[in-house]
Structure 1
């Protein structure tokens, strides 16, 4: 079983306010990723900060886990997700601020998942979602700080990538990234 995971516990410093609940094309930014993950028909989880107004989000069937240590960086959310997925085949990581990742892309990564790390690329840039097989869980639990799994990914030779469109790398860091889309 593969566990889809949405990492959504960032502080939104560059954005200036809590971006995950900011309207993007008619719904909160995070809702786009939740809707995609929910459509996968797999038991997914969302790792989110307690600072987000959860009443604005419809988590559907996703399990919500609260990261109370966001000060430790992205690695803390990854560890929470890995502990929840212990005993499963792997995790498929999504970021809550990437609203353009659609079901077709998510299903492609899901279908390619196996013993290799899988992720899309766009013009040579690593995108999301990223599939991590369980054989890397112990190693991933050792990461620290705000860099996520980047070092783990670049150190492995058993990686499978495929070319995709810009939606696999589009994320929202600043208000200007989504201005005019409300």
Structure 2
């Protein structure tokens, strides 16, 4: 079984007010934490889908990844570009570049749980989180997504999505505004 990890990093970070993915967290760019979680997944490749402006400076010290640069900043087009780069993979884990605290073992649990499912995702407190593991069967449906929405709506409509319960709220913790990053730096999860 060949799977890849996609790290989506093409957004403009308008609510953050500056380039949040390059903002430091524990001495390195925020994005590198998401890349590390993606590299810990049971995958053969890690592909970062990045907006063009992000390529300046950040990649010199990045962990090894393949980079797909896109002009669009919409979530659906980021996901579609990543799936296109995944090509003939049997599945793709989707990580978000602004989610730095993903538990390292969760991807392995998703890989074991997916079976013949359309997708697998972690769930904590009754709420789904990230990363999401999409089977290759999901790839054609991703092509039909539009706008600045990911696959969430599509996955909510499917009865063949497998949920893996976990106790770590970090599967929900993303950085949208500077206060979220400040919370992470202080050791608490953004609410």
> C-alpha displacement at 1:79, in angstroms?
0.7
Gap runs ≥5 in structure 2: 187-191
1:44 alignment partner, SS class: strand
Q: Deviations over 1:105-147 (max 9, x none)?
A: 2222233344211000121211000011111211110100011
TM-score by length of structure 1 reads: 0.92
Contact 2:120 2:162 in 1 (8 A): yes
Of residues 173, 176, 179, the one that matches 2:179 is: 176
Report the aligned-residue RMSD.
1.6
Alignment correspondent of 2:90: 89
SS in 2 for 1:51: helix
**CA offset digits 1:46-80 (Å, max 9, x no partner):** 0011111542243333100001122xx10110110
Aligned length: 180
Closer, same or farther: CA 54–31 of 1 in aligned 2, 3 Å: farther
Q: Mind listing any 5+ residue stretches in structure 1 that lack a counterpart?
A: none
Aligned residue runs from structure 1 range 38-49, under 5 A: 38-40=39-41, 42-49=44-51
Report the secondary structure of 2:45's partner residue.
coil
Q: TM-score, normalised by structure 2?
A: 0.88
Distance 2:157 2:91 in 1: 18
Instruction: Give the alignment of 1:62-81 within 5 angstroms.
Output: 62-70=65-73, 73-81=74-82
- Give the secondary structure class of the aligned counterpart of 1:144: coil
